Amino acid sequence: MGKYLFVKRDDPNFKIDDEYIKEVEARYSFSFPDILRDYYLKHNGCDMYETRFEKFGIEFCVIFLYDLRYGKMPIEKVMEYNKDNDSIPTTFIPLAQDEDNDDFYWDSLSEKVYFLSLSNVEHPKEICGSVEEFFQLINDSVKEKENFYD
């Protein structure tokens, strides 16, 4: 997957390079999946279309993907905030947020993507088997909107 249909507009002020990604990986002892590394190199800090998808009979919404280094709430800031919360596994890396300030995380061990509701942090819900599958879900959401307006 080379094209991210959910990207609305890039912000050239938020560009990062591969060296910075490697620094984050070394600091936290994990490796980003290839698709996430590619996304950050091309679109870190972008505005995205609001996306909605359904899994398990539940509608999920994604309003933004967490940035590296920049923005109001970069990944590292969320990780620092979460480190004192024993309910969130240390292998969970912030990925995206929904309209209710609930978060999607990818697990750096299993590479699966989980949804964590603020009201039920102790019970993460597995959404996808990979970040690539998650990106496909939000890409498909944009495709459905485009077809709706055709």
Query: Are the CB atoms for 95 and 66 separated by under 8 Å?
Result: yes
**Core vs surface per residue 58-93: b (16+ CB within 10 A) or e:** eebbbebbbbbbeeeebbbebbeebeeeeebbeebb
pLDDT value of residue 148: 45
Write the pLDDT tens digit of every residue in 56-101: 999 999 999 999 988 778 999 999 888 888 888 989 999 999 999 9
Q: Which residues contact 13 (CB under 8 A, 6 or more apart)?
A: 45, 70
Its pTM stands at 0.90
Q: Which residues contact 123 (CB under 8 A, 6 or more apart)?
A: none
Write the pLDDT tens digit of every residue in 102-111: 999 999 999 9
pLDDT value of residue 70: 83
Burial class of residue 9 in the structure, from the number of CB atoms within 10 Å of its CB (0-12 exposed, 13-18 middle, 19+ buried): exposed
Write the pLDDT tens digit of every residue in 121-149: 888 999 999 999 999 999 999 877 655 44
What is the arithmetic mean of pLDDT over 32-38?
Answer: 95
Bridge partners (DSSP) of residue 128 are: 113
Judge whether residue 113 has pLDDT over 50: yes
Burial class of residue 104 in the structure, from the number of CB atoms within 10 Å of its CB (0-12 exposed, 13-18 middle, 19+ buried): buried
Q: Which residues contact 78 (CB under 8 A, 6 or more apart)?
A: 66, 94, 103
Mean of all residue pLDDT scores within the chain: 90
pLDDT value of residue 150: 41
Q: Position of tokens 């390079």?
A: 17
pLDDT value of residue 71: 77
pLDDT value of residue 143: 79
HSE-CB of 127 using CA atoms within 13 angstroms: 29
What token pair was written down for 105? 């995380």
